[in-house]
Every structure is written in C-alpha cells, then in structure tokens.
Structure 1
Amino acid sequence: MNTSLSLPLHKSSRSGFSLVEVVMAVGIMALGVVTILGLLPHGLKMTSQTANEQAETRIVDFLVGELQSTNWTTVDATPTQTRYFDDQGLELDQTNPDFGILLTYVVQVNVPEYDVRLPNNDGNMVANQNLRRVIIKMIAAPLRDFNFDNPTSAVPIKIFTQSIANMGIAHNLP
C-alpha cells in the first residue's frame, strides 16, 4: 500500500501582498488617521465648553436654591454679594491657602427689592410681595476684585436671571 502524499512541486507566485497593495492600504489608513486627528481639537473645545456650562449651571442652581430656601425677610435684607467658585462650580472658602489657584468663577448676586410687578384686577402694575428676581452676574476668570458695575477689562460677563417665590416655609424651627 503506497500512501504517499502528492505535494505541489512549486509554490504559488502570489503568496503575499504586492508593494502597490501595501502602499494603498497604508495610504487609506493614513487618510483615516489624519481625518480623526483633525476632529480632536473640535472635540476638545466642545468638551471644555460643556464643562464650563455645567459648572455655570451648577453655580446658578446652588445660589438660587440657597436664596429660595432662605427666610424671606433675610432675602429682602440680602445686599449684593460677591462669591467665588472653582472650575467644578463648588464655592471656595477665601481662607483656603489654595484660593488663588482654584479660583475660576467670580459671581455677583443681587436681589432687587420688590422689582417684580404683576397686573392687579384693575390692570395696574403693582409690586408683588411674594416674588423676587435674582440677578447673577458671572465671569469665568480668576479676578478676585472684579468690578461688575464698572468693568474695565475685556472679560465677558454672563448674566443669569431667576425668580424666587415666598414659599411660606417656617424657618424658625427649634
């Protein structure tokens, strides 16, 4: 019994890739990589803008929530305040030794007294005793002594306006 295997006498001449095929594959891959790298700066810019908007929203929500939960007579007596926040939207303590390093947002909070006017039954506009407007001015710059009333620098000021209502919450609990 003869069980010899028959092997081909010569190898195929097309056992690998030609130089043209390799150059074309590398060219297509390079085009894809360059396209993706071109999108990176735009993606990084959008990520940064989104992080800033989230921090600003967190700051506004915090300040409005704080005022909304404050005793109404205290809200009326609240003077214009300047507050400081880090890049995450968390309030900074000015006694913190890293205050100058962490400072990212400077915010001015103002609650004008009785500036919300609504029509009464006669159609006249009267000041509403149970609504207050909160005006929050914010800069995204570490300028501790920034003057919001007379800005001298080219730093853009964002202004947010919210309304708060007297919820009649008892704040004099034991």
Structure 2
Amino acid sequence: MLRRLAASGRALLAAPAAAAAQPIVAARGVRAVAAATSGKPVLPSQVHPLPDQLFRSIELEYRGHDPAVLKSYTQFLEQVCTNLSVTRGSVATLPYVRWVQPLLRSKFVHKKYKLHYETRTHITRFTIHDVTGSTASTFLEYIERNIPEGVAMRVEYEELLPLPDTITASAYWK
C-alpha cells in the first residue's frame, strides 16, 4: 500500500497541470501533493457535506477487578459530562461475575490436594442521552484515553435516522 501511495504521488508531481485541473481532497496520503500544486485543497466536508449524527443514548459498560477503581472512573465520567454539558442518564452497578478455577497444588501428582483460584469481575453501566456525533466522538475519545489500567469498556449507542424516501413519499401518507 505504501508503494502505491508513493507511486501515485510521483505521478501527480510529474504532471502538475493535470493535477491542478481536478480538486484535491486533503487526505493523509496526498497532503504533500496538495502543497506542491497551485490549487487550494478542498476538505472532504466541503465535497460531501453530511449532516451531523444524532444519538438518542450512548451506553458505556466498563468492567474491572477493583470496585474502587470503577467508582473513581464513574466520578470522572460524571465530571466530564458536567464539563461538556452532556445529559447524563443512569449509573447502574451490576452484579459481579465470579470465576473459580480449581487446580492441583502440585504439578502432576496428589490429586487430593487442590486450590481454588477466584476472580471477580465488577461491572458498571453508565448512560448518556441526546448527543450529537461530534460531541459523542469528543466525549468517547477523551474518556477512552483516560481509562484506568485493568478496565475494559464496551460502547453501545442508539442513533436517530430519518425515514427513507420510500416511506415518506409513499401513497399511504398522502
């Protein structure tokens, strides 16, 4: 893939007149080419303007072995919601998941003597409501960069979409 980008960059640099006729989209692979041409680069949002996404709710589920760390991270999330003016929903602490593994005390003999190793995974669910796409991406990037060690996160969201044209323009609605 790197060779193909380099080859296409050389081809555009070799023929600047042909490249100047087309609008240049500012992307990761062609930034040097855009600076070499005389035309002004066109941003992808200017080429295809898309409306911002709307999310009804974003549900964060994070898991860890230390409940004190999860409680501290919940307080951090509440502070981030306050600072970004995001509508915070419910915070639910779910029952922990217990995993027990019985193992022999010695390597290969004395089956009568066993040890039980146990891990507990604590789960917390945090919900935010009515968020735009840009706010959601900023929020998620910030909280994922500041997640503590040993904590896993899963994100679920409900996106609001307009009805398709086939439904809105049908004969049933006239």
Q: Higher strand fraction: Structure 1 or Structure 2?
A: 2
Compute the TM-score of the two structures, normalised by the length of structure 1. Answer: 0.25
Q: Higher helix fraction: Structure 1 or Structure 2?
A: 2
Q: Which one has more relative contact order, counting CA pairs under 8 Å at least 6 apart? A: 2
Compute the TM-score of the two structures, normalised by the length of structure 2. Answer: 0.25
